[in-house]
Structure 1
């Protein structure tokens, strides 16, 4: 079964909007675990507009499932944060400063030397590494040469096209996944996956290990409740 890692950035956004500690980020993470999530994901950014750097330390002490920290590894503060906490996984995302949300994967050919060096830093610390990539076979194949353990397929394009033509929307992702399987890379996926498109994606991507879902899941929880929503997402992956 593909694992579900719940991204709790939006919980932190809501908390920060009023100050104080409501909703309680740590309690929410523990509840997500209790409701069946197999991991917790955070994506701290330099402006701390959602996840704060101190949140990462508190979450690392509290959660029992896999902890996944996403972020821009060109920022030394992010690198230091990850090394200080030693999560199960770090996901390297090529965000620009001030970017609202991630919107593209690494050019693993152009950035091969840099990625190879930074991935070694994390792997030497015993941290599994995943790198964000677009569903392009050449980028997947080049990713394997960096030493990364996994790739995370950036799924916005799939989600955007899904309702118009789901077969066309999934096709490049299947090819990218097949390439990842050939070169021995684990496969994660994330961005705009939801209750409508998740099942089809999971059924058609060979070797899909993990999906990281935040925005859609938290939005659904407003209507269905957090526990019920997590169970609904897990059923799409079963």
Structure 2
């Protein structure tokens, strides 16, 4: 069964819009776990416009499933991860001014940098994953960095799913086969939803984990958080 990690950034966005502590990020994470999710993901950005660095510190001793921290490994982010030691860190090459993650790593150009960062995390027993576009050269480059896993950036699949889902999934399935052959674990995330997750799962070999935030939280406004999580878990079986 593919694990479901729920990204709770949007819950923090709602809290920050009003100030105060409603909705409570820690309480939301606990409820999400109680509803069956197998992981909690956060993506703190330098401007802390949704998840704050303090949220990470508050969550690390509360999350009972796998805790995944995503972000661009600048010095502040690296310090935060090394201090809190999540189960997994996902490296994302975000520019500071992007609205949301919009590209994977050039794992060839940034090989030396990624190797250094990954060694720092692995020395502390933290599993590492690299956010990559579905291109075989980036998968092969990821292997050379020493990472444990890749996270396939699935926006192109979500867009293509509307037009030709079989064509849309093809590069992802091929990259998953290659990654597995190279000994890499396979995660995926970005724009996955109840509409496309079942097809994605059924056609993606060796899929270890999906990280879903925006769509899951939006869908929960209509159907309720517990109901939506259980639907995802059913589709991921």
Could you say whether these structures have the same fold, taking a TM-score greater than 0.5 normalized by the shorter chain as the test?
yes
Q: CA deviation at 1:89?
A: 0.0
Partner SS for 1:233 = helix
Aligned-pair Cα RMSD in Å = 0.5
Cα distance in 2 for partners of 1:139, 1:20 equals 42
Cα distance in 2 for partners of 1:137, 1:179 equals 7
Alignment match, 1:172: 171
Alignment match, 1:27: 27
Alignment match, 2:43: 43
Q: CA deviation at 1:97?
A: 1.1
The number of aligned residues is: 237
Q: CA deviation at 1:63?
A: 1.1
Q: CA deviation at 1:133?
A: 0.4
Please give the TM-score of this superposition, normalised by the length of structure 2: 0.99
Task: Write the deviation string for residues 187-207 of structure 1: whole angstroms up to 9, x where unpaired.
Answer: 000000000111111111111
Cα distance in 1 for partners of 2:199, 2:44 equals 30
Q: CA deviation at 1:98?
A: 1.7
Q: After the TM superposition, which segments of 4 or more aligned residues of structure 1 sit over 2 Å from their partners? A: none
1:56-95 matches, within 5 Å, as: 56-73=56-73, 75-95=74-94
Cα distance in 2 for partners of 1:39, 1:233 equals 13
Uncovered stretches (5+) of structure 1, i.e. residues with no partner: none
Task: Write the deviation string for residues 38-84 of structure 1: whole angstroms up to 9, x where unpaired.
Answer: 000000000000000000000001110000000000x1100000000
1:107-118 matches, within 5 Å, as: 107-118=106-117
Cα distance in 2 for partners of 1:86, 1:9 equals 19
Q: CA deviation at 1:235?
A: 1.0
Please give the TM-score of this superposition, normalised by the length of structure 1: 0.99
Cα distance in 1 for partners of 2:178, 2:110 equals 19
Partner SS for 2:61 = helix
Cα distance in 2 for partners of 1:138, 1:176 equals 9
Cα distance in 1 for partners of 2:82, 2:117 equals 12
Cα distance in 1 for partners of 2:83, 2:177 equals 35
